[in-house]
Amino acid sequence: MRPPTPLTGEPTQRDIDAAMAEADRRPPPDPDHPDRDYPPYRSSALRHPKQAPLPVVDPEAVELTGPVFGVTDVSALDNDLTLGQTGEPAGQRITITGRVLDRTGRPLAGQLVEIWQANAAGRYAHDLDQHPAPLDPNFTGSGRCLTDSDGEYNFTTIRPGAYPWRNHLNAWRPAHIHFSLFGTAFTQRMVTQMYFPGDPLFPYDPVLRSVTDQSARDRLVAVYDHDLSLPEWTLGYRWDIVLGGPARTLFEDR
Amino acid sequence: MTPQPDPHPPGGHAPGWLPPTPAQTVGPFFGYALPFTGGGHIAGHGDPDTITVHGRVFDGASGPVPDALVEIWQADRDGCLAGAPGSLRHDQVTSEVVGRDGTAFTGFGRVPTDADGHWAVRTVAPGPHRPGATPYLAVAVFARGLLRHLYTRVYLPERADHVRADFPDLPAERLDTLLAVRERAGLYRFDIRLQGERETVFFDFC
Ligand SMILES: [Fe+2]
């Protein structure tokens, strides 16, 4: 394999750095989340609403309830992404565990947690990911589980690689795992990404930096937990997830 | 990272509340992980009175969005919001997701847009979730380029008068973006415009 012909006429990292610095100076509408209008992430340009969202205060809105999932929605092997193929996937085996909480700190049991990720070489098992890194016949990279009675989820997988993308010249995403969660109300629905501690690509990545508040950004980064590592088997990471949503969802007893 | 109490709770929330985990875009590669077999078949097998709701997702240049994910949450035709589990039911031999069993109403649908930005679900018209409420399908939209998902609602045009009464301050051309268009009996069109002319009304829940 040889490197592909680089993009030309695209913004450089320096251009994106300047745009990120400018966005940092503009306070986001909600410091806990990215502003959907974030110019350094260029695909957001045509995909963010220009109108302000319409506030809803109806305490009986449909959105204060949500779908539920149960034993038929997951299989026992779904939380181990290294299984299901004839061989072992390449890469560093890891486990990720954490609790799913609401904002009062109450653990959310029986919650569906879905994840997907690139393989160890940084390639997704998706036809539209054509960057010249090898696919792994033993790794697809999607999994799911239900949280236990303590609100805890647990996945075994391999550490994903960083990967290039075409936001700008020499753009690389830091290694990350995509997460999808529901909560007890549709308003708590959450899709996010988990990162690995100490990744040198953090300062260059407009997706992570779209969360402009540093303490909020830190909440997207897992911690290495040596007590979760298993001898001669896996390295352990811990990442707790707090679902937001309107205050009313916290006092509904469902 | 282990959550620490929020030192500056936003919006006057009680101190000590945990700050939420921030959202991040669904990205372009969710297609082998999130969509599931029968994700758009919310109505049960053999239901004699189903409706199909479909449409396209457009960006601010009126181009189709081929990498969006549309999720639906709704009441059943009696207005009941106690959706059953089992949307992603598994085959126990192969561990493949085979989808719901066709009897229990889960109220949840999930469909990716196709290369032309099109999506469709087959469901039932929801009933009022409380006496006098105007029923609707709750919608969450995810896409590459969208850093945090968006919420909107599909109202059926037969209830247009109620919808107008529910949103008295909304200009007519904005309100129209929440009303599906009846194409023929049982077939409704609902386009989602993320930006620009006739931009869909999106909601923020307080
Ligand atoms: Fe990714």
Whole-angstrom Cα distance, residue B121 to residue B100? 14
Q: What ipTM does this complex have?
A: 0.95
Given this model, what pLDDT does residue B5 score? 57
- Six token digits for residue A77: 């092997």
| CATH code (residue A118) | 2.60.130.10
How confident is residue B166, by pLDDT bands cut at 50, 70 and 90?
Answer: very high
| A220-238: average pLDDT | 97
> CA of A121 to nearest chain B CA: how many angstroms apart?
15
Q: With respect to residue B2, please indicate whether it lies within any of the assigned structural domains.
A: no
**Bridge partners (DSSP) listed for residue A94:** A157, A235
Domain residues for the domain of B179 are 30-193
> Which residues on chain A are in Cβ contact (under 8 Å) with B17?
103-104
Given this model, what pLDDT does residue A150 score? 98
Q: With respect to residue A196, please indicate whether it lies within any of the assigned structural domains.
A: yes
Of chain B residues 137-156, which have a CB less than 8 A from chain A? 138, 140, 142-151
pLDDT one-digit tens code per residue, A49-74: 999 999 998 888 999 999 999 999 99
Q: With respect to residue A204, please indicate whether it lies within any of the assigned structural domains.
A: yes
Q: With respect to residue B206, please indicate whether it lies within any of the assigned structural domains.
A: no
Minimal Cβ distance to B59: which of A47, A66, A192: A47
| CATH code (residue B130) | 2.60.130.10
pLDDT one-digit tens code per residue, A15-29: 999 999 999 999 888
Q: Which residue has the higher pLDDT, B105 or A27?
A: B105
Torsion (CA) A19, A163, A175, A88 in degrees, nearest 10: 170
Amino acid at A81: L
**Bridge partners (DSSP) listed for residue A99:** A152
Q: With respect to residue A22, please indicate whether it lies within any of the assigned structural domains.
A: no
- C-alpha A19: how far from its chain's center? 23
Using the predicted structure, report yes or no on whether residue B52 has a pLDDT greater than 90: yes
> Which residues on chain A are in Cβ contact (under 8 Å) with B20?
32-33, 103, 190, 242-244
> CA of A214 to nearest chain B CA: how many angstroms apart?
11
Say whether residue B178 is in contact with chain A using an 8 A CB cutoff.
Answer: no
**Record: contact A178-B59, CB cut-off 8 A:** no
| B155-161: average pLDDT | 97
Amino acid at A35: D
Q: With respect to residue A231, please indicate whether it lies within any of the assigned structural domains.
A: yes
A124 is a catalytic site residue: yes
Q: With respect to residue B12, please indicate whether it lies within any of the assigned structural domains.
A: no
How far is residue B2 from each of residues A42, A87, A229, B168, measured CA to CA in Å?
A: 32, 34, 17, 44
DSSP type of residue A50: S
Residues with Cβ within 8 Å of residue B2, at least 6 apart in sequence: A223, A238, A240
Given this model, what pLDDT does residue B12 score? 44
- Residues above pLDDT 90, as percent of chain A: 84
Q: With respect to residue A162, please indicate whether it lies within any of the assigned structural domains.
A: yes
**Record: contact B86-A73, CB cut-off 8 A:** yes
Given this model, what pLDDT does residue A251 score? 59
Q: How many domains does chain A have?
A: 1
Given this model, what pLDDT does residue A254 score? 41
Please, what is the average pLDDT of chain B?
A: 93
Domain residues for the domain of A212 are 80-128+138-244
Whole-angstrom Cα distance, residue A153 to residue A146? 7
Q: With respect to residue A238, please indicate whether it lies within any of the assigned structural domains.
A: yes
Q: With respect to residue A23, please indicate whether it lies within any of the assigned structural domains.
A: no
Q: With respect to residue A133, please indicate whether it lies within any of the assigned structural domains.
A: no
The catalytic residue among A173, A195, A204, A209 is: A173
Q: How many domains does chain B have?
A: 1
Q: What is the 3-state secondary structure (H, E, C) of chain B?
A: CCCCCCCCCHHHCCCCCCCCCCCCCCCCCHHHCCCCCCCCECCCCCCCCCEEEEEEEECCCCCECCCEEEEEECCCCCCCCCCCCCCCCECCCCCCECCCCCCCCCCEEEEECCCCCEEEEEECCCCCCCCCCCCCEEEEEEECCCCCCEEEEEECHHHHHHHHHHCCCCCHHHHHHHECEEEECCEEECCEECCCCCCCCCEEEC
